[in-house]
Amino acid sequence: MKQKQRSKRFDLLSKRDINRETYVEPWPEAGLIVADSPYDPQPSLTISAAGEVVEMDGVARADFDALDRFIVSRALDLAVAEEAMALPSQNYARMLADINVSRADIARLVAGCSPAKLTDIIRHLNVLEMMMGLSKMRIRRQPANQAHVTNWREHPALLAADAAEAALRGFAEVETTVRVARFAPFNALAILVGTQTGRGGVLTQCSVEEALGLRLAMKGLTSYAETLSVYGTEMTFVDGDDTPWSKAFLASAYASRGVKIRFTSGTGSEALMGRAERKSMLYLEARCLLVVKGAGSQGVQNGSISCIALPEALPGGVRAVLAENLLAAMLGLEVAAGNDALASHSNIRKTAKLMLQFIPGADFIFSGYSAIPKRDNLFGGGNFDAEDFDDYNVLQRDMQIDGGVQPISEDEALQVRRKAARAIQAVYRKLDLPAITDEEIEAATVAHSSDDMPRRDIIPDLEAADAFMAGEGDFVAVIRALQEGGFDDVADNILEMGRQRIAADYLQPSAIFDADFKVRSAINDPNDYAGPGSGYRPAGERWAAMQNIPQARSPEGFIEPHTGQPLSRLVEIGPASKGAPNEVALALGPAFGKILTTTIGGLSHEDVLEAILTGIAAEGMIARILRVYHSSDCAAIGYVGARLSGSGIGIGLQSRGTAVIHQKDLAPLNNLELFPQSPSLTLRTYEAIGRNAARYALGLATVPVAVKIDNGARLRLIVQTALLHRRETDEVDPDKLPQELRFDWEPDL
């Protein structure tokens, strides 16, 4: 049989990361459609004279499921519903993109929209308009970020160290979870102590089964919870062993203990659980969000979360994920916008997707940036992880966009990691838990992942965790242990968390604590974006901190290595005139061998001169060296050389190493050969340049010098290029004529 013909290009493309993903065509009957399922209802709402909703989105009250009942009873503002439902969906879409319409005006009306109405608004918006909408509708002014801190070994010292580093990097919330559920109290304890070592006021949580999560919160080991999952169909809700009422009660229970809560929803979960009822993911998410709002949650994490790969397998999936973030913000909910679970193999794709939340800003751009390597992430996560820290910092610096973190130095990281590990060691010692050794402290200080940690004996750790959970031990005991261990500042931070619990200010929408341990929420820091020149933008100290990546160097540092003592063998002897026909003129830039003494590629100017002169001599010609003062431009230098050269052939050479072979009858910006990639030029190349120049002077047929193409050179060296050129330009004297030089050198022939 004939072998199918294979394109080498298609073969290569098939191996790219983007082609490790799964793509599927929509199938509305299975819920595999991100928006606009043909089975999605048309928006409608009928309110009886008695003020009761008797029909919503084409369903009569008698046929309402539990979610419909919850939504009409608790989520919808019936006072505006009639006006809200009557306003055409396109008007909402235009208001979202219109800087002259305020967030409050939109929020007032959105409060009366049914799920199908919300979905219908999105129909009219492209991603750019949705990003405009999100930047306006986000409820807190300043965006923030949440980190995931877990490790496969569930090592307490490593958890504390990583949590401390995450806090130092600026994450406002840190979430952990468990591999073995019994470890929950210790993991929660480790990130509590770790974060409060890094920065007081970082909120923490441990994602576990609902009842266990509540018990951790009651012990004061966590300060927020976001695992309150809701689903868009009744059957999925029941499969998740909850109802809107049980979830809402849980929310009140958490709040009664002073714990911030955030619900979890997101596209794709219903389809994944086989209960989508032929509806689009976005329509079901709109239902979820109204349940979340009706339950009185201050916020939601959505953006598909752990199901992200499912919408991304479908057309329009990434757009739909932004749409659900926007809907949540429109409903006045704090949004932790996803970007947590592994969503793509492709770095291009994952970064492009991130931009939809990063650029407009979200209350939390990530609902879990993996502040640890992927292999230690127990959330199935790590779309961005610890190995992307520097990339992320640079993205912030590039766009002057506050992504909620800042760069830190290696020394700062080591210091805070060691302190956090020692603090948890002290807590373990005072509470009589299995000892954490000094060896473990040192390992956690420098570790990247749990591979770098010594093994712990899990059996006694688990037994101690069980006993701790069953006993009276709580954060009061932890604070005392820290005091006794000499960690008063960490103890004070945890105590302040306790005081904040009493004040309960951080139960308000989108609350975080800032660097000064002050609460910042939609109440006292409401988003005031109203178009250009308004709203949050990083400035002052914050922008300075974002810029201050340790990799950035001072401009002087780029020039200094290329400077040195003027070459003693290169002496100026007087004004240059036209020379004899058997010569090639070599014209140098004004700083060559004087202020600057090496090329950008690190070749000494002496060696470069020798190489060119050797090449010219090898063809039996004589070299005459000139210095040009009135210009630092390579073509201008070379052109002067050609005009003064007796043969009419000149070589121009800048200090950074860029060279040209010129001929007197050519236009100034034309040339015989140009060598713009100075970093790629070797002494052998310079010799070949000299040889070719001589051959042109002799009228011989000449093969141009082959120079390797290195397209990365400009990328790597453009700063040096600019700064070295500027240094040379500093030496320009517009009134000074070209001078003749003598170079003390004999051809080695």
* Piece of 30-38, 61-69, 160-168, 702-710 that binds other proteins (CB under 8 A): 61-69
Residue 516 falls in the annotated catalytic set: no
105-124 footprint of other proteins as x/- string (CB under 8 A): --x-----------------
Binding mask 506-525 for other proteins (x = CB under 8 A): -xxx--------xx--xxx-
Length of the chain: 749
* Complete DSSP assignment for 626-642: EE--S---HHHHHHHHH
Query: Least CB distance from residue 283 to other proteins, whole Å?
Result: 20
Q: Is 146 a catalytic residue?
A: yes
Catalytic option among 173, 226, 461, 673: 226
What is the torsional sign of CA 61, 62, 68, 73? positive
Pattern 567-606, other proteins, x by CB under 8 A:
----------------------------------------
Q: Is 248 helix (H, G, I), strand (E, B) or coil?
A: helix
In this structure, what DSSP letter does residue 98 have? -
246 is catalytic: no
Question: In the stretch 480-499, what mask flags binding to other proteins with x, by CB under 8 A?
Answer: x--x----x--xx--x--xx
One-letter amino acid for residue 706 of the chain: A
Binding mask 243-282 for other proteins (x = CB under 8 A): x-xx-xxxxxxxxxxx------------------------
Place of tokens 């879409």: 93
- The residues near 314 (Cβ < 8 Å, ≥ 6 apart) are 24, 26, 32, 33, 34
**CA angle, 174 then 309 then 361, to 5°:** 50
CB of 178 to other proteins, least distance (A): 19
Q: What is the largest CA-CA distance in the chain?
A: 110
C-alpha distance across the termini of the chain, in Å: 66
What DSSP character marks residue 407? Answer: -
By C-beta, is 182 or 480 nearer to other proteins?
480
Q: What is the 3-state secondary structure (H, E, C) of 309-324?
A: HHHHHCCCHHHHHHHH
Identify the active-site residue in 175, 270, 388, 740.
Answer: 175
Considering the complex, what minimum distance in angstroms separates the CB of residue 249 from other proteins? 5
Contact region with other proteins (CB under 8 A), list: 213-221, 389-397, 453-461, 591-599: 213-221
Q: What is the dihedral of CA 633, 636, 640, 642, to 10 degrees?
A: 110
Q: Of the listed 269, 301, 406, 500, which one is catalytic? A: 301
State the minimum distance, in angstroms, from the CB of residue 390 to other proteins. 35
Number of residues that bind other proteins (CB under 8 A): 70
* Nearest alpha-carbon partner for 321 in 333, 331, 307: 307
Place of tokens 């591999």: 179
Number of alpha carbons in the 13 Å side-chain half-sphere of residue 648? 11
By CB under 8 A, residue 464 contacts other proteins: no
Please say which residue, 220 or 382, places its beta carbon nearer to other proteins. 220
Q: Of 40, 162, 210, 340, which one is the catalytic site residue? A: 340
Separation of alpha carbons 207 and 187, rounded Å: 10
User: Is 148 tagged catalytic?
Assistant: yes
177: buried, middle or exposed (CB in 10 Å: 19+, 13-18, 0-12)? buried
The whole-angstrom separation of Cα 515 and Cα 430 is 29
Query: Is 162 within 8 Å of 421 (Cβ atoms)?
Result: no
Please say which residue, 312 or 363, places its beta carbon nearer to other proteins.
Answer: 363
| Residue closer to other proteins, measured from CB, 503 or 571 | 503
Q: What's the one-letter identity of residue 460?
A: P
For residue 78, give the H/E element and its range: helix 78-86
28 binds other proteins (CB under 8 A): no
Q: Is 420 in the site for other proteins (CB under 8 A)?
A: no
- For residue 42, give the DSSP letter: P
Residue 725 contacts other proteins per CB under 8 A: no
Helix (H) or strand (E) holding 294: helix 281-294
Residue 243: CB minimum distance to other proteins, A:
6
Least distance from C-beta 371 to other proteins, angstroms? 27
Query: Is residue 301 flagged as an active site residue?
Result: yes
> How far apart are CB 81 and other proteins at their closest, in Å?
14
Q: Which candidate, 343, 389, 308, 317, places its Cα nearest to that of 18?
A: 343
Q: Please confirm, yes or no, whether 226 is among the known catalytic residues.
A: yes
Kindly tell me which residue out of 296, 315, 564, 646 binds other proteins, with binding defined by CB under 8 A: 296
* Range 305-364, binding other proteins (CB under 8 A): 332
Check binding of 73 to other proteins (CB under 8 A). yes
Nearest distance from C-beta of residue 471 to other proteins, angstroms: 12
Question: Which listed range, 27-35, 183-191, 214-222, 732-740, lies at the site for other proteins (CB under 8 A)?
Answer: 214-222
> Within 13 Å, how many C-alpha atoms sit on residue 497's CB side?
31
662 is catalytic: no
**Which residues are marked as active site?**
146, 148, 175, 226, 301, 340, 367
Which residues here bind other proteins, judged by CB under 8 A? 65-66, 69-70, 73-75, 77, 104, 107, 210-211, 214-215, 218-220, 234, 237-238, 241-243, 245-246, 248-258, 293-298, 332, 472, 474-476, 479-480, 483, 488, 491-492, 495, 498-505, 507-509, 518-519, 522-524
